[in-house]
Every structure is written in structure tokens, then in C-alpha cells.
A = this chain, B = another copy of it.
Amino acid sequence: MSLNVEHASVRTLPSEKPLRLLDNAGHAVTGAATGGFGLPNTETLLELYRKMVVARRFDVQVTALTKQGRLATYPSAYGQEACEIGATAALTAQDWLFPTYRDSIALLTRGIEPADILQSFRGDWHNGYDQNAHRTAAQATPLATQALHAVGLSHAARLRHDSIVALTFLGDGATSEGDAHEAFNFAAVWQTPTVFVVQNNQFAISVPLERQTRAATLADKAVGYGMPGYHVDGNDIAAMYAVTSAAVERARSGGGPTLIEGVTYRIEAHTNSDDPTRYRAARDVEHWKRRDPIERLEKFLVSEGALTEAMRTEITDAAEALAARTRDVMTTEAELDPLELFDHVYGRERAALVEQRAALEAEIAAGAFASHEGAAR
């Protein structure tokens, strides 16, 4: 493969009205508003519905646990389920996901255990799951930085003729960072198999979108990189799934990167330590609650007769079981070994760290830490 690029560059403006396959009442949309994308089949929609319900329950549970002081922090994705899950479900298990702190429910969708997802938010260790096993990078906090990692990994795969795709989530706020720009540009120039999903949830902590950009849509940014951009109703999981699936397929077949903006809303506070009453009106939140992504799909599935009572019960039970499991793990204290602090800084042993480790070990043995009375190993 040569890295020489052909000169064709995509130069189409995304639709100013967000693409949509299901309207807020749960009716299938037809015509131009769909951007030519077709509704996923019922089986797929049922699976997406299940994933959203389970994720919502998880998210609500974790927020509750956080309020009880069980977690150091938790950035909720309540209301963003269609974006998070619609996009994530478009990946295969071989593909890579590069998530942010916001995207815990996407991790859940990748099959990662609650206990492992929440290790970082509980404060046990910075990251708690096996990145390689799940092909899911550690949740990134420094904004937009992970987008470059996604570009690099997917380019490496392409160099190896390994047809995987990397998808990364970005917030609306994160699009302002230099790294977002550099990631879009590297991906476009190198034509890497990368999908950028901007979850435009209208806020960066307290800062509303109009202080973040003057672009008509965040998807418009794609034009400046010569890549396709899609402006999508981010509370319509059918649209998010369809558009992302197409982007993933294009990437997989050598067609390069895509920028997708999902227009959604952050229903909860930024994190538990935030106070949104300082910067937004309750009625705005109410407005968006009436555009709930789960209800929308539910209405459609019910109207289609696809979602039975039995299914609902089964899904609710599964969600409750997961919530219970989450409560259980979060109410059991993890065994932490402070000496492990020294074990993963370098692969090669360093004399200075061996010394420091020994010093801490001696302190612990001497009972310097209440939480470790006599517990030194």
C-alpha cells in the first residue's frame, strides 16, 4: 500500500436539519430528511432498544451510588443513549473504541463489566478494564487527545492490511481543542479507517454550544478536511446506527474517515460535583426530556408490534440484575495494594523506584497508614 492519496476530496455540506429516521413521536421518517439512509431491521432495533434500557438503568444506578459517596465522580450519559449505543453497536468486536470519561455506557455495550468500568470513578486505579481484550482504550480525560490515538491505531492496522476500524467519541466542547483538528486532518490526509462521533450534548460543563462554535453544525467541520460529515439527530438511535454503520463500512473498505455529529442533550449535571442550576433553565432540561431516545424507539417498536410485554419484562429484569450487580460491586471495597503504585511506571526496573517502594513498604509495615494496619504484604 502506498500512502499516496488521490486528489478527490469530499466537499458536500451536511444537511442543516439533522438526519432522522424516526421522529420524536416514534414514526418512521421518509424522504430527504433520511439522507437516503434506511431504517435498520426490527431485530437490530430490538437489540438496540435492549442495550439502551440496560444502559439507562446502569447509568441511573451509578449516579445514585455516586450521590451516596460510593464513587469519586461519575459523568452521566443519561439522555445520550442513542448516540452512545447507536454508534458503538455499529462496530464489530475486532474494531477499536476510543471513549471519553462520558462514555461508560458505551463500554457496557462493548461487554465490559461494571466493576471494571467503575474502578476509575471509584478511585481505585486510573483504568480498570483490559484494553486489549475489549479493544477499548482507557477512557480519556484530556479532551480530544484520544482522537489522535484512534487515528494512529487505525492507520497502523491499515498499514498491516488488517481491516479494522477505530471509532472515537468527542464532546461538542472537545471539538475546540487543537487535537481534534489535528486528528481530523491526519485521518483525512492519511485516509485512515477512523470514525469520529461528536456527541453534541449542548454543553461543555457550563458552556453552551454557541460559545463553542459559530459553525451552523459541528459536522460542517468535515468540509475543511475533505471528508464526509453527517449531522444527525442524536436522540434517534436508528439514524445514529445507520449513519455510523455506513461510515464504519466505508472506513473498512478503504474509503477513509467520517465525521458524525449526533445532536443530543446532557440531561444530568456534568458530573456529581457540578451545579447546572447556575447555567441552564430547568425548562430546557424538561424540553429535552420530552425527546427521550428510549421512549422514541419504544413508541416505534410498540406501534410496529415488535416489542411484546414479555420482552419488556425480560429486558427490565436484565437491567435490574445488572443494577443489582453494580450495587454489589460498588458496596464492596476493593483490595488495593499501594505497593503496586511502583509496578507499572516502567517495564524496565529502576533502582530509584525499588528504593521508594521499599520505603513505602516499611512505612506501611510500621503502621503509618490507618487503612493498612498490619496489612503490608
Partner-binding segment picked from A4-12, A30-38, A281-289: A4-12
Of B180, B182, B212, B224, which is within 8 A of A215 by CB?
B224
Contacts of A222 on B, CB cut-off 8 Å?
224
Q: Is the CB of B213 within 8 A of A189?
A: yes
Give every chain B residue within 8 A of A177 (Cβ-Cβ).
178, 182
Measured between alpha carbons, how far is A216 from B9 in the docked complex, in Å? 6
CB contact between A211 and one of B9, B13, B189 (< 8 Å): that residue: B189
How many positions in chain A have a CB within 8 Å of any CB in the partner chain?
Answer: 32
Interface hub of A216, A224, A226 (most chain B Cβ within 10 A)? A224
Query: In the assembly, what is the distance between CA of A9 and CA of B209, in Å?
Result: 13
A176 to chain B, nearest CB (A): 6
Q: Do the beta carbons of A182 and B178 come within 8 Å of each other?
A: yes
Could you tell me which residues of chain A, from 24 to 76, have a CB within 8 Å of some CB in chain B? none
A13 contacts across to B, CB distance below 8 A: 11, 13, 223
- Can you list, as one digit per residue, whether each of A222-260 has a CB less than 8 Å from chain B (1) or not (0)? 111111000000000000000000000000000000000
3 cross-chain pairs, A with B, having the tightest CB-CB distances, nearest first: A178-B178, A181-B181, A221-B224
Given contacts A5-B211, A9-B214, A223-B224, 14 further A-B contacts (CB under 8 A): A9-B215, A11-B16, A11-B216, A176-B182, A178-B179, A181-B182, A189-B211, A189-B212, A189-B213, A214-B225, A214-B226, A215-B225, A215-B226, A220-B223
